[in-house]
Structure 1
Amino acid sequence: MILLRFVARELLTSWLVISLVLGFIMLGSSLTETLYQIAQGAIPKEGAAVVLGVEMLSLWRVVMPLSSALATATTLTRLYASSEMAGMLASGYGGFKLAWPLAVAFAPVALIGVYISLVGLPTLAKSKLALMSAAGPATVVGKIQAQTLQPLGSGVLVYAEEVSDNGMSELFVFQKDRNQGTTIEVAKRASVEAVADGVQLVLEDGMVMALDGRSINTIEYAEHRGLLKQWVSMKGQKLDEFTVFELDDSPEHRLAFHSRISLPLAGLLLPFFIYSVVVIRPRESSIKPALWAVLGYFAIGNVAVALMEQPIALDYPMVVYTPFVGVFLLSLLLLWRKEGRV
């Protein structure tokens, strides 16, 4: 118990320091933009606390996995460098027992992250969108005027259509999210469709381009038509020479549950993966089954994606981190057998 508290304290101390440093660095640019919007009157001053709260909670989901992984790496490095790890191993405190401090240190952190993602952030995001809507009836970007629309996932998604004299149409796509200002993506296209997580653009060359509501300023490409088939209701209204569509915000059209909790869970899984590589150090014979486990996961995942007709890009974090869990569990099993526990 004494060693458990010692290692957990070292991990949490490193995690706190790294989180503060990364937080100040990453919050700088977005905080500057937010304060500028408040000064310009785009955001009511009385709502500044809500807007800043959304910025900080959004930042948490990014900083937590990074700081957890870095804290694990730096703590293990320091313990090995100071010979404290050798002393613990010599006293019978083996690699399997060393996994408990990681769970004690980072499980509460991951649970807090899940709560923030599922409850805190959506609530504050809706309050922020309400404040921004109250600040002005319209959002003006260049020559395009589009009404502020319903929230979709992590922000507001708007697209407007312009048809030129020669019959060519351009689609102006705006994603007004919680961290950035309004961005514009222009694409020649054949059709545009609303889907569960954003907007699907079918381009003239047959390429399908999806701008989702989960990722921030991210455009993900698919290789064929009809990849995204989850439809949402769509309301159209005329605004000058543009057609603006509103995507509704009913619960069934919000972000997928797994995509909301993937980053917080990654904050717990990454340290275990680093631990399995640095401490357990699987024998060479264990590399082959570990690779088979990773390849098997991707094969099963791709089959499931095909059956559900879901885009593979729907949840990149879980695709990336889940194999790490398999490698870690396999390493623990090998170590457990080595210590005579199985």
Structure 2
Amino acid sequence: MQTVIERYINREVLLNWIGVTGALLIILMSHRFARFLGQAASGDIPADAIWSLMGLSTVQYLVILVPIAFFLGVLLALGRLYKDSEMAAMMACGVGPLKLYRALAWIALPIMFLVAWLSLYGSPMASQAIHQVQQAAQAEARLGVFEPGAFRRLEGADGVFYAERREADLLRGVFIQAFDGDEEIVIRARRGRVETDAAGYRYLVLEEGYRYELQPGSRAMQRSRFERHGLQLPEAAEPGMSDRRDTRAVRELLASGTPEDMAEFHWRLAMPIGGLVLTILAVPLARISPRQGRYGRLFAGIIVYVLYSNLLATGQVWLEREQIPTWLGLWWVHALVLVAALLWLLRQNGGARRFLARPGEAAGT
């Protein structure tokens, strides 16, 4: 059962965590939204696929954002308590680091369990869904090249397409200019439509038009009239899903056992473990004097996180290159930061004996 002080500390941490998470998510998703808008403007994806991709991308970002946001939220919450001398009053009443950790555990453990699920299962499923949405979106975007009223580049060919207007599924006033080797081809048709045969191949079927074949630099030209003329449309290559480690399930990574797959597994596991380690580190890092601002340790916290994440990234590369054994994984990075946090905590509280036996006296350190 939570005490009044524990509920009070948790409320402060939660409010700061939600604020930091929201701010960071808005910044990152704004950049991602601009990227998707650019892809939609260039015709790579249709506009109605943007929101699906945004939602799935949010799941991926939360895996990284939640641990750092919770770390910063703890720093901000405890920093305010220290600045307003509330923490000094709590310590005088016997609230030491151990009770702080107990209070933080009520919210840190459920949040990191959520991060663990997102990292191990949710994010790979989101990555696979993003891949599938992008493939479907690109297939739909290939049909968007036939939207009337503008010159559009032909996918898979060196040329452009133009149609004057659309009537249902029928295009009116079709113009195509393309190159076949050194030969320039110009096609003008009264109408056209996209059709799919029984085998699933798509064709642009043109009716009542002319086809001109020209040689650049020469007056030679061949003109032919047609009543019906079909042009096969190129199909986009499907990238292999097995080549994307970020979409693989945990059981597939463990079954494979290759250095690259094991490095991916340890990286996913590092997100929730790192969040817990950062929570332990936040308690000694947040300690300030009342004369210092509540944001005094925020910059230091960001530096610590950057160093921690860079060590994890370096360890992942070493795992892929088999420079460290697989069983060691990234645990050495977590252990290094955890030992530094515990030593810092013991130093602030006068050693292990005083820290464990008389936590309330830590206020005088």
For the aligned pair, the TM-score class normalised by the smaller chain equals 0.5 to 0.7
- Per-residue deviation, residues 143-178 of structure 1 (Å, max 9, x unmatched): xx983412312379xxxxxxxxxxxxxxxxxxxxxx
Letter in 1 for 2:26: F
**8 Å CA contact retained: 1:4, 1:101:** yes
SS at match of 2:267: helix
Cα distance in structure 2, aligned partners of 1:18 and 1:231: 35
Distance 1:30 1:256, change over 3 A: same
Which residue of structure 2 lines up, in the alignment, with residue 149 of structure 1?
A: 239
- Per-residue deviation, residues 182-236 of structure 1 (Å, max 9, x unmatched): xxxxxxxxxxxxxx9xxxxxxxxxxxxxxxxxxxxxxxxxxxxxxxx9489xxxx
Alignment of 1:47-86 (within 5 A): 47-86=49-88
Alignment of 1:160-239 (within 5 A): 230=258
Cα distance in structure 1, aligned partners of 2:259 and 2:334: 29
Which residue of structure 2 lines up, in the alignment, with residue 26 of structure 1?
A: 28
Q: 1:313 Cα shift?
A: 12
Letter in 1 for 2:239: L
Answer yes or no: is 1:326 the counterpart of 2:339.
yes
Alignment of 1:274-285 (within 5 A): 274-279=282-287
Cα distance in structure 2, aligned partners of 1:16 and 1:68: 8
Answer with 1 or 2: which has the greater Rg.
Answer: 2
Distance 1:108 1:321, change over 3 A: same
Cα distance in structure 2, aligned partners of 1:311 and 1:43: 41
Distance 1:317 1:266, change over 3 A: same
Which residue of structure 2 lines up, in the alignment, with residue 269 of structure 1?
A: 277
Distance 1:45 1:277, change over 3 A: closer
Letter in 2 for 1:310: E
**8 Å CA contact retained: 2:67, 2:112:** no
Aligned match of 2:93 in 88, 91, 94?
Answer: 91
Cα distance in structure 1, aligned partners of 2:282 and 2:15: 18
Cα distance in structure 2, aligned partners of 1:321 and 1:231: 20
Q: 1:322 Cα shift?
A: 3.3
Larger relative contact order (Cα-Cα within 8 Å, sequence gap ≥ 6) = 2
Q: With the length of structure 2 as denominator, give the TM-score of the two structures.
A: 0.52
- Could you list the runs of 5+ residues in structure 2 that have no partner in the other structure? 143-154, 159-234, 290-310, 359-365
Cα distance in structure 2, aligned partners of 1:30 and 1:313: 36
Q: 1:36 Cα shift?
A: 3.5
Answer yes or no: is 1:126 the counterpart of 2:125.
no
Which residue of structure 1 lines up, in the alignment, with residue 322 of structure 2?
A: 310
Distance 1:255 1:62, change over 3 A: same
Q: 1:260 Cα shift?
A: 0.8
- Per-residue deviation, residues 239-277 of structure 1 (Å, max 9, x unmatched): xxxxxxxxxxxxxx5863221121233222212112134
Which residue of structure 2 lines up, in the alignment, with residue 337 of structure 1?
A: 353
Q: With the length of structure 1 as denominator, give the TM-score of the two structures.
A: 0.55
**8 Å CA contact retained: 1:269, 1:325:** yes
Distance 1:4 1:56, change over 3 A: same
**8 Å CA contact retained: 1:38, 1:44:** yes
Cα distance in structure 1, aligned partners of 2:94 and 2:259: 58
How many matched pairs?
227
Letter in 2 for 1:263: M
**8 Å CA contact retained: 2:75, 2:282:** yes
Percentage identity across paired residues of the two chains: 24
Distance 1:77 1:280, change over 3 A: closer
Distance 1:91 1:24, change over 3 A: same
Q: 1:92 Cα shift?
A: 1.1
The alignment yields a C-alpha RMSD, in angstroms, of: 4.2
Distance 1:318 1:68, change over 3 A: farther
Q: 1:28 Cα shift?
A: 0.9
**8 Å CA contact retained: 1:64, 1:264:** no
Q: 1:329 Cα shift?
A: 3.9
- Could you list the runs of 5+ residues in structure 1 that have no partner in the other structure? 157-195, 197-228, 233-252, 282-297
Which residue of structure 1 lines up, in the alignment, with residue 217 of structure 2?
A: none
